[in-house]
Amino acid sequence: MIFLPHIFLLTGWIQDLVFEILYKLYGSRCYSFVWNVKASFIALLFFLYFAALCFFHIMPYKEKQRMPRSASHPYVKQRMPGSASHPYVREKIPPRLKIMKGGRIILRLCFFGMTAQLFFYLLRLPDYFLRYVNSSGLPQLITDGILTFFFFYFLILNGSIRILCTCRSLGIWKRLLFACWLFIPVVHLLPLKYLSKRAKIEYDAECCRFENRRQRDGAMLCATRYPIILLHGIGFRDLQYFNYWGRIPKELVRNGATVYYGHQEAWGTIENNAYIIRETIKEVLKETNCDKVNIIAHSKGGLDARYLISGLHMEDHVASLTTMSTPHRGSELLNLLNKLPDGIYHLVSSMFDLTYRRMGDQHPDCYHASKQLSYEFCQEFNEKYPDSPKVYYQSYASIVKHTLGDNLLSVPNLLMFLAGAPKNDGLVTTQSAKWGNFKKTFISTGKRGISHGDMIDLKREDYKGFDVIEAYVEIVSELKTMGF
């Protein structure tokens, strides 16, 4: 089905060649007849093309997909014992991926087709111009160019709409922006490279993820001895219709994990949030008949968990604590914000408190909660609440490679860079994120890097050289191997 555009382009060029032969034989008298045939044929091709699209998109689809076998591939994990060894595995690929891949191939086809057509016109332009002027055929030449333009325009529109409707990593605002661009001729060419790139990255990641699931089907890699509690960072809540952790919890559950959420407040202080988490853990222990839980905490959630363990003496009910990008030694960004006049800081904090109280926070305290991320507070906090020997502590960090790596955190990243902290994820430095058994600093192979939000799949995007979902599957599977 995807080769239909190739056939149409080849047919158009064959028509041009036939016209050249007829012109040599019969002169300009053949032009009107050939042009009318060509225009009618292109119209027929358009009708057949879009009719075929509508038909084939509702048909069952299986694709012989070549899955990467190397463990060095940016997404796929190494094959498990007993898995299929043949590189070609015939599996049913979701229709969404089929349509997205088709859109990318159409865009690539249009690029090469337009380049070839442009060279074709440039090479024959002097001959065409003289011939058509002498035969009063210049309007037909212009009409032929217009037909060619709209042919490519509708093909590009088709490929772009495919990607916009199926690529989940684009987000709502990008879809709306690109949708507006697509209906402006010439301008619609600007986002094509980005759309094609996003489609390729997501398609490769989804296929490798699909293969990983097929290989470990029933393996229950994440079936830990104790249930998992996920703790969010500052400024967020555990909402019903927007999961702070993106696609991660679903994949953990798919692999056998039992997952719960902390339900602490967005702008609650460390102490207040720890009390909420303690009540959550008690309910989880009662429901699962376990005596301990594993905690995975992001950002400030790691400090909430450490106070829970050492300050509220819950060490007997916590088996392990995994912190992701937690500012254990404070954030340089807060050191900069602390230089603001205290009156302005109080005013802005009160506005946050008012907003989040309407969203469900019972005791929002933006002023003190944010101040608890400063270097001075964290230094005192670390001395006052040391780690418990009964709990296993491990930590992870990430790095954004340049200021424009994550547009949401570009300004904080730049401020931290100017403050003398170049190796950071937009909010937390690598050195500050290290705590207990430091395992790894996540970084992509591309130019972007991995930001503070990428560590929890905030944007639901896939990046070259880093699969956040597989990273969490690996973390939890290691906890299971360690007996937690």
pLDDT digits (tens, 9 = 90+) for 36-58: 555 555 555 555 555 555 444 43
In whole angstroms, give the CA distance from residue 227 to residue 291. 10
The pTM for the full model equals 0.73
Q: What percent of the chain has pLDDT over 90?
A: 27
**382-391 long-range CB contacts below 8 Å, 24 or more apart?**
382/328, 382/329, 385/306, 385/307, 385/310, 385/311, 386/310, 387/306, 387/309, 387/310, 387/436, 388/309, 388/310, 388/315, 390/315, 390/316, 391/309, 391/315, 391/318, 391/319, 391/320, 391/321
Residue written as token pair 């993106």: 246
Please check whether residue 242 is in contact with residue 272, taking contact to mean a CB–CB distance below 8 angstroms: no
The token duo for 430 is 């690598």
What value does the mean pLDDT take over residues 461-484? 89
If you average pLDDT over every residue of the chain, what do you get? 77
| Selected residue with higher pLDDT from 420 and 252 | 252
Where is average pLDDT lowest: 26-30, 175-179, 351-355, 419-423?
A: 26-30
Determine the 3-state secondary structure of 361 from DSSP: coil
Is residue 163 pLDDT above 80, yes or no?
Answer: yes
Digit-coded pLDDT (tens) for 333-392: 887 887 788 888 888 888 888 888 888 788 888 888 888 988 889 999 999 999 999 999
Q: What is the pLDDT of residue 445?
A: 78
Please check whether residue 74 is in contact with residue 445, taking contact to mean a CB–CB distance below 8 angstroms: yes
Q: What is the pLDDT of residue 390?
A: 93
Q: What is the pLDDT of residue 123?
A: 63
Give the pLDDT band of residue 448 (cuts 50, 70, 90).
confident
| Selected residue with higher pLDDT from 313 and 120 | 313
Please check whether residue 156 is in contact with residue 107, taking contact to mean a CB–CB distance below 8 angstroms: yes
Is residue 435 pLDDT above 90, yes or no?
Answer: yes
Strand partners of residue 442: 398
| Selected residue with higher pLDDT from 282 and 216 | 282
Q: What is the pLDDT of residue 124?
A: 60
| Selected residue with higher pLDDT from 83 and 102 | 102
Cβ burial of 230 (10 Å; 0-12, 13-18, 19+) is buried
| Selected residue with higher pLDDT from 326 and 34 | 326
Q: What is the pLDDT of residue 133?
A: 54
What value does the mean pLDDT take over residues 313-323? 93
List phi, psi (to 5°) of 256: 105, 0
Is residue 64 pLDDT above 50, yes or no?
Answer: no
What value does the mean pLDDT take over residues 418-425? 80
Is residue 28 pLDDT above 60, yes or no?
Answer: no
Is residue 164 pLDDT above 50, yes or no?
Answer: yes
The token duo for 338 is 């602390």
The token duo for 214 is 């097929």
Domains observed in the chain: 4-81+90-214 (no CATH), 220-481 (3.40.50.1820)
The token duo for 411 is 């300004």
Q: What is the pLDDT of residue 464?
A: 77
In whole angstroms, give the CA distance from residue 262 to residue 296. 10
| Selected residue with higher pLDDT from 245 and 122 | 245
Q: What is the pLDDT of residue 301?
A: 92
Q: What is the pLDDT of residue 12?
A: 53
Angle at 255 between CA 253 and CA 260, to 5 degrees: 25
Highest mean pLDDT among 133-142, 186-195, 386-395, 418-427: 386-395
Q: What percent of the chain has pLDDT over 70?
A: 75
What value does the mean pLDDT take over residues 89-102? 71
In whole angstroms, give the CA distance from residue 476 to residue 469. 11
Angle at 146 between CA 144 and CA 148, to 5 degrees: 70
Give the pLDDT band of residue 125 (cuts 50, 70, 90).
low
From the list 292, 297, 328, the residue with the least C-alpha distance to 482 is: 292
Is residue 181 pLDDT above 60, yes or no?
Answer: yes
Looking at residue 331, what DSSP letter applies? Answer: -
Cβ burial of 154 (10 Å; 0-12, 13-18, 19+) is middle
Is residue 192 pLDDT above 60, yes or no?
Answer: yes
End-to-end CA distance of the chain: 50
